[in-house]
Structures are given as C-alpha cells and as structure tokens.
Amino acid sequence: MAVLVFLDHESGIIRQASRSAVTAARALGEVHALVTGDASVAEAAARIDGVAKVLRAAGAAAAHELAEPLAAVIADLAPAYSHIVAASGASGKNVLPRAAALLDVQPIPDVVSIVDADTFVRPIYAGSALATVKSSDAKKVLTVRASSFDPAPAEGGAAPIEQVTVPEGPALSEFVSIALSQSERPELESARVIVSGGRGMQNEENFKLLNPLADRLGAAIGASRAAVDAGFVPNDYQVGQTGKIVAPELYIAVGISGAIQHLAGMKDSKIIVAINKDPEAPIFQVADYGLVGDLFDILPQVEAALDKAG
Amino acid sequence: MKVLVPVKRVIDFNIKPRVKADGTGVETAGVKMSMNPFDEIAVEEAVRLKEKGIATEVVAVSVGVQQAQDTLRTAMAMGADRAILVLTDVAVEPLGVAKILKALVAKESPDLVLLGKQAIDDDMNATGQMLAGLLGWAQGTFASKIEIADGKATVTREIDGGLETLTLALPAIVTADLRLNEPRYASLPNIMKARKKPLETIAPADLGVDVTPRLTIVSVAEPPARQQGIKVESAADLVARLRNEAKVI
Ligand SMILES: Cc1cc2nc3c(=O)[nH]c(=O)nc-3n(C[C@H](O)[C@H](O)[C@H](O)COP(=O)(O)OP(=O)(O)OC[C@H]3O[C@@H](n4cnc5c(N)ncnc54)[C@H](O)[C@@H]3O)c2cc1C
Ligand SMILES: Cc1cc2nc3c(=O)[nH]c(=O)nc-3n(C[C@H](O)[C@H](O)[C@H](O)COP(=O)(O)OP(=O)(O)OC[C@H]3O[C@@H](n4cnc5c(N)ncnc54)[C@H](O)[C@@H]3O)c2cc1C
C-alpha cells in the first residue's frame, strides 16, 4: 500500500520539513502527497523528487490548513494507505492526531528513526530517553522530526495532480488572521548555522547584537524560552522541547544556561559553541567549544576574528 | 459556562529523568512528581475565566494512579471547584485518555475543555486534538491567548512562522501553550480549602471505555552522549578551531 504524506506550506511555499517527511515516508512505500492551497502549491509538490502522486484539497474549507476539514479529508483517504505521515511542525501536530482519532489509531509523534513498518523510535522526556515503540494499529499515523531525515530534493519529480473533495461538515473553526514574523534570514529548521540568544542578552535592544554575527555566518537566529517570554524576540524563534527542534552544522548559544528543555531542541547539532560568563553553566556540558566570559565583550571579538580570518 | 481541565501527573520538570537499567522505561519510583506545567497553565486560564465571570464551574480531571489525587488537589488549590480521578494503574495512551474524556464530556456537558498542549513526559502533543476529533468539536491548539464572547472562542495560536488567530464555535477544545499565562502559586489557605473540595473516583470501566494500549514499548534507551568538549581561551582561538578543526565555517 502507498503512504500518504501531508505537506504543509507557509504562504504558498512547501516547508523544507515536509520534504524531510517525504524522505521518511519513502522508506515505507510509494509516496502520495496531500496539499492544500493554490494550484502552485500542488505543482511544487509534484516536482518533489520521490512523490508519485499529488492530491490537492482545494477550496475555502481546506484553506489555512484548518484541522477540522483536513482531518476529515485524511480520514476519507485513509483506506488506501498503510501509513499517514507529516512533519512534526505546528501544522502536522495540529491535524494528524485529530485524523488518527477519527481512524481509532494511536498516533506516533516525533519519529526520529524507522525500524520497520510497525516499529519506530521517538524521543520522550525532552529527549532524555529514546523509546522504541511498536504499533498494533492496522494503520499508522506518524509525525517525523525533520532534523532526522534529509529533505527530498525540491526538483526532480513530475507527479500527476488529482483534486480531492473536502467532506461537507459544519464550519467549526474560522480563520481570522495570521501574523508571520518577517525575516530575511534562513528558516531555523533548515539553517546550516544558528546563532541563539538567551536571557543573558538582557533586553530586546541588546538581542540585536547577535545580528552582525549572524550576518557574517549566514545564520538563522534562535532563542531560549526565557528570551521569548521576556519579549526580546517573537515566539517562533524558540528552540527547545516546546519550540523548534534543530540540528544545524553549527549552533552558537549566547547567554543561554542550557536547561534540559532547551538542550532538547539543539543537542543533535553537529558542533555546539557556548558563550557564557558562568563556567558552571550546563550548556558547557554539551558544547564542543566553550568560551567563558562576558558576551558583550566576546561578541565583538568574535566578529573581529571572523573578519580577520576573511 | 462549565470548563473541564484534564491534568496529568508527571515527573517534575526540574528533574533529569533516568532510564531504567533494564531498558523498559524511565525510573519513576521515588522521583518527585508534579502537575504537567502546561496543565498548570490550563488550570490558571480556566480559573481566570471563572474570576472574570465567564466560567461558572471548573472541573479538573486526571487519568492515572491513586497519587494523581495530589495533582487534582493542586488544581483545586489553584481554584478548580471539584475533581474527578479516573483511577488506573495501566499506562493510558492519548487515544485512551481521549476516549475517557469523551465519556466524561457526555456526563458533564462542559462548554470548553482546556488541556495542556503536551505532557512533558511522553511529549505526544496529541490528546486535545484527538478528543476534538472524537467529539467532532472545533479545536484551537497551542493557544497563547483566549477570548470568549457571544458563544465563540477567539484563540491566538503559536505556529511555526508566528501567530495565527481562529474563532471556534463552542463547545470547543483548546490546548494551552507556555505563553498563555503565568500560573499562580496556591496559597496555604487555598491548599487547606482544597482538601475539602469534592473529589470523585471512578474506573475507566465505569465509563465503558477500553484503554488497551496500541503501542508496546520495545525498549527505552539513553540517547548517545556527546563527546566532552573543550574550553577555548579567546575569540580568535574559537574562530580558528571552527575553521580548521571542526571545518564548519
Ligand atoms: C514545560 C517547559 C517547557 C520549556 N520549553 C522550553 C523550550 O522549548 N526552550 C527553552 O529554551 N526553554 C524551555 N523551557 C525553559 C527552560 O527550563 C529554561 O528556563 C530556559 O531555557 C532558560 O533560558 P536561558 O538559558 O536564556 O535563561 P537562564 O537560565 O536565565 O540563563 C541565562 C544565562 O546567561 C548567562 N549570562 C548572563 N549574562 C551574561 C553575560 N553578560 N555574558 C555571558 N553570559 C551571560 C548566565 O550565566 C546564564 O547561564 C521550558 C520550561 C518548561 C517548564
Ligand atoms: C505509570 C506509567 C508509566 C508509563 N511509562 C511509559 C513509558 O515508559 N514510555 C511510554 O512511551 N509511555 C509510558 N506511559 C504512557 C504515557 O504516559 C501515555 O502515553 C501518556 O499518558 C499520554 O501521552 P502524553 O501524556 O504525552 O499526552 P499529551 O497528548 O502530550 O498530553 C496533552 C494533554 O492531555 C491531557 N492529558 C494527557 N494525559 C492525561 C491524563 N492521564 N490525565 C489527564 N489529562 C491528561 C493533559 O491536559 C495534557 O497536557 C506510561 C504511563 C503510566 C501511567
């Protein structure tokens, strides 16, 4: 049987994380992609390498990826599929568990490794442990961690596109508005380098001191929960158990103590650098390179060293 | 308006969980347990709705072992009016919890069920959405703001790229994110008062719900440890090492 992958998009662009879900799904069978939105989204999905067919749920009910109509569409399509997969982003986590309930299936969230068609590895307790679980459900519903699977190439496929109808139902929820943070920088989940700031940045103004470093490295900017709660940066910057899970080549933590909930989101990064004035800060336990000192002194020095190195 | 708040007893968020030597799970014996932090936020929100005169009654529910009573007493000390413990010694998955909650919704007829977005032990982030699916109700997940007026809930949600606002027809399911509010500490007099508030205990079977798990745990293991790193002396040393040793810049 084929595998149904829900690809979520933001402003018409399919998220890179969803292409990672395609890679994960290919290990389980032929991939059919479900998308919402304009025809251009379906066309982009059809070009993804490894997608054999695209199903487009068009129309007002499916717009904005509302959970109620989308879960109903997925439940309608489910009989033809062995597995239903999405990236573990906000959209997949909103929609898939609801669809699973309609199918009387226990979902398997945040899969980091596929053992076989029934058996999956997922982190629990903020990544303090890895559980291998085997599902006895006839159909599997899973979300996968993008940081654990390489994204399928955006180009290379030429899949046919079919329309699917959204089942009629009462309008339970209604879209009002969306406020996306504007940034010229790479997306956190796909960035090669991330510069992340914590409470040690002190305030919104000082947080901007990370920009010159991020500019030099072509980095995305992340933050700890404390920095987001204090209003230094918007919510979508948060890295951690309850924020984004990232695994860049280089993660630079500046003024972040390294609470387990933060580590949960970044400890699979290839190289971790910590800049912190407290030599005992737990972040140093996971850092490959630690620099103890005042970040306000160190940041300009790092920039100067980068400029000198050219 | 009646609000139902499901609360889960979990290992305290300050404790680093240890994997059991036999690889069957995480050690919970003798470990400090507390209310799931997201559920504290859900309770706080429900109590604030009551203080604003929007909610008339707040009912806390927990599915779990006898000691989950403590969690329910905490919810009542924060301001919940009464509590229901669905007593079970088996590990109930979100599907089972959602089925139990659906049966309780049929009994209690709440207008709003406010859950945490995820429990910090199993990190499933599923129960609220599943309950909404089973009931055929609207859902507003990962809420950082809730307003109730004219039979509708307006919910601001934390999504990958920023914030989204939806209106939900009531009755509805809302799951709380971290920035919805800052939960209060229960005062001593309120802790005393909570002891006298009603706490009913029932069994999943009384609700006619089968909670047989669908997932079996094959093994639970520690994640691979990172290699011990080094402290560098200067910014120049750091940049040189990132370039020549780690080759990431
Ligand atoms: C349920 C739950 C979920 C959570 N989810 C997340 C999550 O997803 N992501 C997350 O990040 N957190 C999360 N947290 C919060 C987490 O527990 C920590 O509170 C948070 O990560 C701390 O942020 P911080 O390191 O920026 O702040 P702090 O712990 O206050 O650390 C600030 C650090 O900055 C250093 N510092 C200060 N001034 C300077 C200076 N001038 N120069 C150099 N260093 C300096 C200090 O030495 C300190 O180590 C969660 C908590 C709970 C309970
Ligand atoms: C003693 C025991 C040991 C376990 N050991 C393991 C283990 O080692 N590995 C493993 O994978 N699973 C284990 N489980 C199962 C695991 O706890 C369930 O899968 C879990 O109850 C549901 O996942 P979650 O809490 O992450 O749900 P989520 O969907 O993340 O929870 C979201 C929200 O739903 C509500 N909610 C969830 N559960 C309850 C509840 N029980 N009562 C009231 N409200 C609730 C809360 O509002 C919560 O914030 C164990 C369970 C028990 C009781």
Give per-residue pLDDT as tens, B5-39: 999 999 999 999 999 999 999 999 999 999 999 99
* Domain ranges in chain A with CATH number 3.40.50.620: 2-164
Instruction: State the alpha helices, DSSP H only, in chain A.
Output: 16-26, 39-47, 67-77, 90-102, 204-207, 210-217, 225-229, 260-266, 283-286, 295-309
- Say how far apart CA A83 and CA A108 lie, in whole Å: 11
Contacts of B19 in chain A (CB under 8 A): 128-129
A203 is in an annotated binding site: no
Surface of A (57-116) touching B: CB under 8 A:
64, 66-68, 71, 89-91, 93-102, 104-110
- Residue A209 in tokens: 């001191």
Instruction: Please say whether the beta carbons of A122 and A133 come within 8 A.
Output: yes
What is the third-level CATH fold of A188-309?
Rossmann fold (3.40.50)
Q: Is the CB of A222 under 6 A from ligand 1?
A: no
pLDDT of amino acid A62: 80
Q: How far is the CA of B216 from the centre of ligand 2 (A)?
A: 14
Q: Compute φ and ψ for B181, nearest 5 degrees.
A: -170, 175
pLDDT of amino acid A63: 82
Q: Indicate the number of domains in chain B.
A: 1
pLDDT by residue for chain A (310 residues), tens only, comes to 999 999 999 888 999 999 999 999 999 999 999 999 999 999 999 999 999 999 999 877 788 899 999 999 999 999 999 999 999 999 999 999 999 999 999 999 999 999 999 999 999 999 999 999 999 999 999 999 999 999 999 999 999 999 999 888 888 999 999 999 888 899 898 899 999 999 999 999 999 999 999 999 999 999 999 999 999 999 999 999 999 999 999 999 999 999 999 999 999 999 999 999 999 999 999 999 999 999 999 999 999 999 998 7
Alpha carbon B72 to its chain's center: 13
- Residue B172 in tokens: 């509805």
Instruction: Please say whether the beta carbons of A4 and A51 come within 8 A.
Output: no
Instruction: Please say whether the beta carbons of A84 and A29 come within 8 A.
Output: no
Q: Is the CB of B127 under 6 A from ligand 2?
A: yes
Instruction: Please say whether the beta carbons of B108 and B59 come within 8 A.
Output: yes
pLDDT of amino acid B153: 98
In a domain, B197, yes or no: yes
| Residue A282: its H or E element | none
Q: CATH number of the domain at B81, please.
A: 3.40.50.620
Q: Which ligand is the nearest neighbour of the Cα of B35?
A: 2
pLDDT of amino acid B141: 98
In a domain, B235, yes or no: no
pLDDT of amino acid A189: 87
Q: How far is the CA of B37 from the centre of ligand 2 (A)?
A: 13
Which chain B residue has the Cα nearest residue A137? B214
Instruction: Report which residue type is found at B165.
Output: T
- Say how far apart CA B132 and CA B108 lie, in whole Å: 16
The residues near A23 (Cβ < 8 Å, ≥ 6 apart) are: A50, A149, A150, A151, A152
- Say how far apart CA B32 and CA B139 lie, in whole Å: 32
Q: Which CATH architecture has domain A2-164?
A: 3-Layer(aba) Sandwich (3.40)
Q: Closest ligand 2 atom, CA of A131? A: 11
In a domain, B108, yes or no: yes
- Look at the pTM and tell me if it is higher than 0.90: yes
In a domain, B222, yes or no: no
Cβ <8 Å between B216 and A90: no
pLDDT of amino acid B142: 97
pLDDT of amino acid B117: 97
Q: How far is the CA of B240 from the centre of ligand 1 (A)?
A: 28
- Say how far apart CA A56 and CA B158 lie, in whole Å: 26
Average per-residue pLDDT in chain B? 96
Give per-residue pLDDT as tens, B184-208: 999 999 999 999 999 999 999 999 9
The answer to whether the Cα torsion of A115, A117, A123, A129 is positive or negative is: negative
Distances (CA, A) of A106 to A30, A68, B95, B97, B117: 23, 18, 6, 11, 17
Burial B75-111 (b: 16+ CB within 10 A, else e): bbbbbbbbbbbbbbeeebbbbbbbbbbbbbbeeeebb
pLDDT of amino acid A107: 98
pLDDT of amino acid A170: 83
pLDDT by residue for chain B (249 residues), tens only, comes to 999 999 999 999 999 999 999 999 999 999 999 999 999 999 999 999 999 999 999 999 999 999 999 999 999 999 999 999 999 999 899 999 999 999 999 999 999 999 999 999 999 999 999 999 999 999 999 999 999 999 999 999 999 999 999 999 999 999 999 999 999 999 999 999 999 999 999 999 999 999 999 999 999 999 988 888 999 999 999 999 999 999 999
Strand partners of residue B113: B4, B173
In chain B, % helix, strand, coil (3-state, to 5) comes to: 30, 30, 40
Of B97, B99, B129, best ligand 2 pocket probe by most atoms within 8 Å of the beta carbon = B97
Residue B211, domain extent = 2-217
pLDDT of amino acid B228: 86
Surface of A (135-194) touching B: CB under 8 A:
135-137, 170-181, 193
In a domain, B135, yes or no: yes
* Domain ranges in chain A with CATH number 3.40.50.1220: 188-309
- Say how far apart CA A108 and CA B218 lie, in whole Å: 14
- Sequential DSSP letters for A193-223: EEEEE-GGG-SHHHHTTHHHHHHHHT-EEEE
